[in-house]
Structure 1
Amino acid sequence: MPQPAFFRRTYDETMTLMVEARNYLTFAERRERERVGGMVGLRMSCEAMRVTSRLTQVMAWLMLQRAVQEGEVEAEEALRDECRLSGADVCLDESFSGDETLPNHLRSLMDRSYRLYVRVARLEEMLIQRVLH
């Protein structure tokens, strides 16, 4: 069964963001964190982990939805609590989203990963309504 267009676009967006975040964290974030040091450096590390958490949660959810589309997992099973998008307490925290002391690229990753996570959470809620009710 072919994947719905929204799924392909969301998957591609997630993968692109994951690669961008990996490249940033591998090549730029450490240098920037060492340059600014102190509390800003600590916030940078925390927000980088938050970006990573958002993206891995979304990708795990998308992979499970792909398994549903392929008939490998039942839709009801994929929507059990333990299979749902998780980490909301960490992933939805925007405490430092407007922190101008953080590097622009990191703030951009923070914003885009947040919006992606929120969008996937809405998709999941729509699926729950459709499948379970």
Structure 2
Amino acid sequence: MQAPAYFRRTYDETLDLMVEARNYMAYAERRERERAGLVTGLRMSCEAMRVTSRLTQVMAWLMIQRAVHEGEVDAREALDERNRLSGGDVCLDDTFGGDQNLPNGLRSLLQRSLSLYQRIVRLEAQMVGRQQLH
């Protein structure tokens, strides 16, 4: 059975962003951090981990949803607390997302990963709301 278009697009977007983040962190971020001052370099490391946290949380959530679609997991089980999106305290924090001391590439990843995470938060809330109505 083919997954709904919204799911395929979101999955593809997440995977593409994960690859981009991996490439950025493996190549560009390290050089940029070495050129940055101590405080900015530390901030870059923290914010790179925030990007990673957002993307891994979203991908884990999408994999559970994919399992539901494939009939491997019941929809109610997928919305159980242990399978829900987590890490909101870290992932929704945008305190330094616009910090002009951070490199453009990292700021772009921060903005796009936050937008993606927020979209999944809203989608999950809608799904939980529908489940509670039934």
- TM tier relative to shorter chain: over 0.9
Question: What does 1:87-126 correspond to in 2, within 5 Å?
Answer: 87-126=87-126
Offset, 1:37: 2.7
- Distance in 2 (CA, whole Å) between partners of 1:132 and 1:73 is 18
SS in 2 for 1:95: coil
Matches of 1:132 and 1:7, distance apart in 2: 22
Q: TM-score of the superposition, structure 1-length normalised? A: 0.98
The one-letter amino acid of 1:16's match is D
What does residue range 56-75 of structure 1 map to in structure 2 within 5 Å?
A: 56-75=56-75
Deviations 1:7-62 (A, max 9, x none): 00000000000000000000010110010131000000000000000000000000
Gaps of at least 5 residues in structure 1 are none
Aligned partners of 1:2, 1:126: CA distance in 2, in Å? 22
Question: Is this contact kept in 2: 1:76–1:132, CA < 8 A?
Answer: no
For structure 2, the residue ranges without an aligned partner over 5 or more in a row are none
The code of the aligned residue for 2:59 comes to M
**Segments of 4+ moved more than 2 angstroms:** none
- TM-score w.r.t. the length of structure 2 is 0.97
Give, in whole Å, the separation in 2 of the partners of 1:106 and 1:35.
Answer: 14
- Report the Cα offset of residue 2 of structure 1: 1.8
Match of 1:48 in 2: 48
- How far off is 1:132 after superposition? 2.9
Q: Per-residue displacement from partner, 1:52-90 (whole Å, max 9, x unpaired)?
A: 000000000000000000010000001011110000000
Cα deviation for residue 98 of structure 1 reads: 1.3
RMSD: 0.7
CA deviation after TM superposition for structure 1 residue 131, in Å: 2.3
The sequence identity of aligned pairs, in percent, is 68
Residue by residue over 1:78-127, the C-alpha shift from the partner in whole angstroms, topping out at 9 and shown as x without a partner, is: 10111100000000000101100000000000000000000011111111
1:45 is aligned with what amino acid?
S
